[in-house]
């Protein structure tokens, strides 16, 4: 089962509308919404907050829940989490968080933590893929490898992708490429005018979408994957 999730870091609401227009056949997905597009909601898809957490001031997190249309999931910016934050989020009514990273693995199942909230681990993250050579220099791994798509299609558990629409719009190919384009975006340029042809996040993402369609691979939004596992009666991870 494939879950497509997106973190809307630094994307304005108009940039995100361009994203949905560019991919009208996007499977039902989950968007974790950053402050830059805080009021935007993805019609037809699931949403949850993507707050920047100041660990020196952990109070006030319940303000991230929407009393009018409560979100089921939360993913903090940079995947910041702790036991106390998990308790806070569970108390605010969130069913699950999606912060743990099992990168490039075979997929994993959602599990309920001892803190009363479920965890939906991330199997692939685009910026971690680009930064991997810098963070783990001796790893024989190239970014945007086809084996990631093959693993997702063969996965018998849940394979969670985490993409940043800003990287898709930029077609970011490296940390340096991203930094250059982000400076232009901060100056007011549309994110979608800054992408260049060639290998990068956008071309990888579009290959993934094409592979999902060609294989008829099943997809779910994040909460559906968690609720399915909850319905199976599974407990602590």
SS3 state at 110: coil
Mean pLDDT of 21-27: 96
Exposed e or buried b per residue across 95-129, where buried means at least 16 C-beta atoms within 10 angstroms of its C-beta: bbbbbbbebbeebbbbbbbebebbbbbbbbbbbbb
Q: Using one digit for the tens of pLDDT, what is the confidence trace for 148-176?
A: 999 999 999 999 999 999 999 999 999 99
Give the pLDDT score at 42.
Answer: 95
Q: What distance in Å separates the CA atoms of residue 206 and residue 116, rounded to the nearest whole number?
A: 36
**Element (DSSP H or E) covering residue 29:** none
pLDDT above 90 as % of the chain: 65
Structural domains of the chain sorted by starting position, each given as residue range(s) with its CATH number in brackets: 2-231 (3.20.20.370)
Integer angstrom CA distances of residue 119 from 3, 98, 122, 196, 232 = 14, 6, 9, 36, 15
DSSP, collapsed to helix, strand or coil, labels residue 107 as: coil
Q: Quote the radius of gyration of the chain (alpha carbons, Å).
A: 17
CA distance 84 to 166: 30
**DSSP strands (E only) in 190-233:** 219-220
Confidence at residue 68, expressed as pLDDT on a 0 to 100 scale? 76
Cα–Cα distances in angstroms (integers) from residue 107 to residues 31, 120, 147, 184, 236, in the given order: 20, 10, 13, 36, 18
């Amino acid at each position: 089962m494939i879950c497509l999730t997106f973190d809307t870091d630094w994307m304005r609401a108009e940039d995100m509308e361009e994203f949905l227009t560019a991919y009208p056949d996007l499977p039902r997905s989950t968007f974790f919404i950053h402050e830059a597009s805080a009021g935007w909601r993805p019609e037809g898809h699931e949403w949850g907050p993507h707050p920047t957490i100041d660990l020196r001031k952990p109070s006030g997190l319940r303000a991230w829940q929407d009393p009018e249309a409560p979100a089921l999931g939360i993913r903090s910016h940079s995947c910041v989490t702790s036991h106390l934050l998990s308790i806070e989020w569970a108390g605010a009514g969130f069913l699950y968080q999606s912060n743990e990273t099992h990168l490039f693995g075979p997929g994993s199942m959602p599990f309920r933590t001892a803190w009363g909230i479920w965890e939906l681990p991330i199997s692939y993250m685009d910026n971690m893929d680009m930064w991997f050579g810098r963070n783990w220099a001796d790893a024989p791994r190239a970014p945007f490898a086809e084996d990631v798509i093959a693993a997702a299609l063969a996965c018998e558990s849940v394979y969670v992708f985490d993409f940043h629409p800003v990287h898709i719009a930029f077609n970011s190919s490296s940390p340096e490429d991203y930094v250059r384009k982000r400076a232009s975006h901060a100056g007011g340029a549309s994110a979608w005018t800054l992408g260049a042809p060639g290998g990068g996040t956008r071309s990888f993402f579009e290959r993934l979408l094409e592979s999902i369609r060609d294989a008829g691979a099943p997809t779910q939004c994040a909460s559906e994957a968690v609720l399915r596992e909850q319905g199976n009666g599974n407990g602590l991870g």
